[in-house]
Amino acid sequence: MNRLPHILAGTMLSIGVATLPAFAQQAGTPVETKAPNAPDQQPAFSGQTRAPQPPQIANIKTEVVTEGLPHLWAMEFLPDGRMLVNAKQGAMHIIGTDGKAGPAIANVPEVLANGQGGLLDVALAPDYATSGRIFFSFAEPRNDGNGTSVASARLVPDDQGGGALEDVTVIFRQTPGYDGNKHFGSRLAFGPEGELYVTVGERSDREPRVQAQDLQSGLGKIFRISQTGEALPDNPFVGQENAQPEIWSLGHRNLQSATIDGEGRLWTVEHGPRGGDELNLPQAGKNYGWPEVTYGVEYSGAKVGDGVTQMANTEQPVYYWDPVIAPSGMAYYDADAIPEWKGAFLVGGLVSQDIVVLHMENDRVKHEERVDLGARIRDVKVGPDGAVYAVTEQRGGGNSTIVKLTKG
């Protein structure tokens, strides 16, 4: 197991009030002012991109909860206010309410910590208070390469701030495997009936990515499964020949943001290539287009496929970004501590290095604002105190910091 570096701190260092980030905050104008990568592409409807900033922009105060952590990928709040975090290299830790991280939790399975792979998302079971069960996704080494897998386990903390996983079981594997190190996804989100949504990637490379359109393949999909890993009986492709029954929706690229809204519905944000990050409200059986339809271009600047943004039988994104924010982590804000954000989605930006705040109206983005944190945002969660917590990282890995955002 990996050990924490000696520079762990729980100092609650204030890093100031974010009033005017590096970009200009001005009500009524889009926060994004850079030229798009695909200037000839046009949105399908008004407000699908570059929504205006809200008339009242929240004054946000930020402070460091803890820093010097290993490179984190995800965090989750435990019922007692402590945090459970996943480090990309393969270790879990519990961070105390004093900001100090305990020793590595025992019995985490082997992960492929290579490229974009590693120990990925973590979520508490809906009945965690009584069962102690957690679920986590990870890049799993396999005989046919590797792929995103989901495991469940019982978390048993100890008196030293650490603990162990017991009854570890891999409940679901994305298939087929592939010998690559990119686009694993992955986020986990529980629906209101205890159903588990699992988001994954399409493995990036040109040969496997086309399988995002193939129902026999688990690449580039969202899955909807039971807590023991089975396809739910009302999934859209149950009983269909040559289709994986766990699939909920298809045609996705690399899904690293997902959350459940106040109505119990799944929302996601996925990475585009150069341009084309997408906010979606994934529906049963629907096709979201990748790699045949996108608002982005290849990293080379060339068109993706035929360069089309609309096609029959594919869904339009609710919203898209060009240039990208590079989304990772997402939360629905239903607390009262920051009233200006009530009902908004909060999305971490790896490239934009800010928390992207999406104010919704009738399932469309009415306003977009951003809070600049000056670092890549890997995960975003709403704490039991109504504050927002962000996991930050430096490009290429390095140490992570957890930052708390409150109303200034």
**What confidence tens digit (pLDDT) does each residue in 142-154 have?**
999 999 999 999 9
Residue 5, domain member (yes or no)? no
Query: Lowest-confidence range among 20-24, 40-44, 365-369?
Result: 20-24
Residue 113 or residue 19, greater confidence: 113
pLDDT at 28: 86
Residue 367, domain member (yes or no)? yes
pLDDT at 2: 34
User: What is the rounded (10 degree) CA torsion for 243, 276, 404, 75?
Assistant: 20
Q: In terms of C-beta density within 10 A (0-12 exposed, 13-18 middle, 19 or more buried), how is residue 218 classed? A: buried
**In the chain, % of residues over pLDDT 70:** 94
Residue 148, domain member (yes or no)? yes
Do the beta carbons of residue 331 and residue 77 sit within 8 Å? no
Query: Lowest-confidence range among 82-96, 260-274, 384-398?
Result: 384-398
Place of tokens 């001005």: 26
- Specify whether 271 is catalytic: no
Residue 4, domain member (yes or no)? no
Question: Taking Cα atoms as reference points, which of 295, 400, 315, 216 lies closest to residue 389?
Answer: 400
Residue 403, domain member (yes or no)? yes
The residue-averaged pLDDT of 289-305 equals 97
- Rounded Cα–Cα distance for residues 329 and 391 (Å): 9
Q: Which is catalytic among the residues 71, 93, 183, 271?
A: 183
Structure tokens at 302: 């060339």
- Rounded Cα–Cα distance for residues 214 and 287 (Å): 10
Residue 183, domain member (yes or no)? yes
Q: Could you tell me the residue range of the domain that residue 306 belongs to?
A: 14-407
- Of the pLDDT bands very low, low, confident and very high (cuts 50, 70, 90), residue 25 is low
The CATH number given to whatever domain includes residue 157 is 2.120.10.30
pLDDT at 4: 37
The helix (run of H) or strand (run of E) holding residue 371 is strand 364-372
pLDDT at 398: 77
The mean predicted confidence, pLDDT, of the chain is 93
Residue 9, domain member (yes or no)? no
Structure tokens at 331: 């939360």
**In the chain, % of residues over pLDDT 90:** 91
Question: Taking Cα atoms as reference points, which of 33, 22, 24, 26 lies closest to residue 55?
Answer: 26
DSSP code at position 243: S
**323 prior amide bond cis, ω within 30:** yes
Residue 336, domain member (yes or no)? yes
| pLDDT tens digits, one per residue of 258-281 | 999 999 999 999 999 999 999 999
Place of tokens 């104008």: 29
Q: For the chain, what is the domain count? A: 1
